[in-house]
Structure 1
């Protein structure tokens, strides 16, 4: 059985792992001993690893599993919003030392937050990898990396109605975790490399429409034009032929 490594077993890792483990053996990292023990008890081969945003006195130790992995998925934050550029550089250097000279298929989970909050539709060509520090640094080290710019992670216990939301008439750019797993499996099977994709549900209703659907409240406003940023996944659909299981965020609560 092929082996997949997931660096950063957080909310997303926990939800994509079951779909991946049906086809692949999972190895992962986490930041607490307690969580590592729980994951190992489930057969997920977890180790402790965190990637500080400062320069270490010596090189960060390489993951001893790297030579055995066929696929690597990086889910830890690689964003200027999480730290300044110099700190981000240090974090990526530590991550790269951990990964080493990996030649297999690789995925970086980025974010649609790279696009500005403007009332327009965005595709990947609007903000290329070279404009985003974290993506650019990873790409320069691993040219084969697939960069997936994920919309707001939703499904399971993450529903818009559970949060204090402003700007209710703005469009949502959400993605159900089931579709993230499906897209990963599609790309792994097709041995896709070096691609940049927006990963958002094809439909972009307003926040209020999504909340009303989740609260089972009838939408009396009808088909009004929804304003705000819309990040399109049309390139992904065209190139991968992927059929979304949850194309409409108004149905994300119907799992």
Structure 2
């Protein structure tokens, strides 16, 4: 059985782990002792670790579990929006000390927030890795890394109707967590490396259409114009031949 490490057992990390646990042995990190104890009791190998955005007096010790891991999935924030560039450098430096010279298959969870708020359709070539500090730093250190630019994370308790939403005529760029896990699973099976993919559901309805569907409001009207940017996942569909479980955000609330 292959062993998968997940750095960051938050909302997404927990759901990726649950989706892979039937096929792979899971090792993970969390930020609290209580959560680590809870996970270890459930058979998930967990340890407590944080990755501060300041320079440590001594480098992080290498994660001992890495010696046995086949796959590493990084879900902690690695972006300029989470901290300034100098702080980001320190965070990635601390992360790199923890990972060491890992040579296995690797995944970095990035965000479609790297694309500007321009009303157009974006593909990966519009904003290459070299222009995004966090992605570039990680790829320079780990050239094999797969970078997944995730849309708005949805599914379970995350539904658009639960948020204070503006610009209701603007398109959504959402992704169901089950499709994130499905894409990672397929890439693991394929042994995929060095890829950059946008990960968004293929359909981009207006926000009000998604909210109406989630509130069971009967409104079949199409908007006169769906505004805003649309982040396309056509590259991963073509290269991976991936079929989305949840292609339409208007149906994310359906089980």
> Shared fold by TM > 0.5?
yes
Deviations 1:74-132 (A, max 9, x none): 00000000110000000000000000000000000000000011110000000000000
Secondary structure, counterpart of 1:94 in structure 2:
helix
Aligned equivalents of 2:220, 2:12: Cα separation in 1: 34
Secondary structure, counterpart of 2:64 in structure 1:
coil
TM-score when scaled to structure 2?
Answer: 0.99
The Cα of 1:19 is off from its aligned counterpart by: 1.4
Deviations 1:179-234 (A, max 9, x none): 00100000000000000000000000010000000000112422643111100000
Q: Does 2:158 match 1:158? A: yes
TM-score when scaled to structure 1?
Answer: 0.99
Extract unaligned runs of 5+ from structure 1. Answer: none
Q: Does 2:211 match 1:199? A: no
Partner residue of 2:149? Answer: 149
Partner residue of 2:71? Answer: 71
Matches within 5 A, 1:93-172: 93-172=93-172
Partner residue of 1:40? Answer: 40
Aligned equivalents of 1:28, 1:232: Cα separation in 2: 31
**Are the aligned partners of 2:169 and 2:223 in contact in 1 as well (CA < 8 Å)?**
no
Secondary structure, counterpart of 1:27 in structure 2:
strand
Partner residue of 1:254? Answer: 254
Secondary structure, counterpart of 1:253 in structure 2:
coil
Aligned equivalents of 2:126, 2:227: Cα separation in 1: 19
The Cα of 1:20 is off from its aligned counterpart by: 0.5
**Are the aligned partners of 2:169 and 2:225 in contact in 1 as well (CA < 8 Å)?**
no
Deviations 1:54-82 (A, max 9, x none): 11111111100111100000000000001
Q: Does 2:147 match 1:178? A: no
Partner residue of 1:228? Answer: 228
Please tell me the root mean square deviation across aligned C-alpha atoms, in Å.
0.8
Aligned equivalents of 1:198, 1:155: Cα separation in 2: 18
